[in-house]
Structures are given as C-alpha cells and as structure tokens.
Amino acid sequence: MALELFQTQLFTLDLSYSKEVRLMKYIVLFLIKIYQIFIPKRFRGTCLFKESCSNYVFRMTKEKGYKEGIKAIKYRISNCRSNYYLTDNNGKILLITAKNIVFEERFINKQILIENK
C-alpha cells in the first residue's frame, strides 16, 4: 500500500522495464528524497550548479532510469568539488571545474556568482 501511494504521488509507473529495474529506480529516487528531507541544507554545502545535484540526479533517474541516475551522481560528484574557478570571457561568466570542464553562467548557482564577485 505505501509503495503504491509513493509511486502514484511521485512517479509514473513505467511498465516497459522489468520489476527489478523499476524497483532499483524507485530505491534510488526514495534515497534521494530521504536525503533531501532529512539532511539539513546547512550540512549539504552550496552546489555549484543552478539545479542542485540531488534534484539533477532525481530528474535524470525519473526520466531515464536508475543507470542514468547513477551516471549522473558520478558526473556531478566529479564536477561539484572545490578547485573550481570563475572567469569572465567577454562579459560572460564561466565556471571551470578541476577537471577543466567549462559551464556557462546559466548553469551556475546564483549564490556562487554572488560569493565570488
């Protein structure tokens, strides 16, 4: 009953995958929601990106499945670390990560932009 309610309120049931794959997807989504609800924002740190890492991973998992969600977690963790810097390129602010991946200003969290002025 609780699982059915959880599915109907948050997710559309995707019958194109096996029961095990759907279960993994819901487990990943459930863990993200638990993290968002029970870990206070002050302990999470400031995300570099406009769409927080947990929201991004939740969206990717919901839209594309748990395997893409796991890839999204790895991608964000590897790029959402210190050792980034902001640069002005002809009036456009760019964020460059420690792995030298460049993100345009539209992807950067406004708080990061304000803190680094």
pTM given for the model: 0.75
The answer to the question of residue 80 being in a domain is yes
Structure token pair of residue 46: 């400031």
Find the domain containing 37 and state its range.
17-115
The pLDDT value given to residue 17: 64
The answer to the question of residue 8 being in a domain is no
The answer to the question of residue 62 being in a domain is yes
Number of domains in the chain: 1
The answer to the question of residue 4 being in a domain is no
CA distance 4 to 72: 26
117 residues of the chain, pLDDT tens digit each: 444 544 444 555 555 568 888 889 999 999 999 999 999 888 887 888 999 899 999 999 999 999 999 999 998 888 877 788 899 999 899 999 888 899 999 999 998 888 877
The answer to the question of residue 9 being in a domain is no
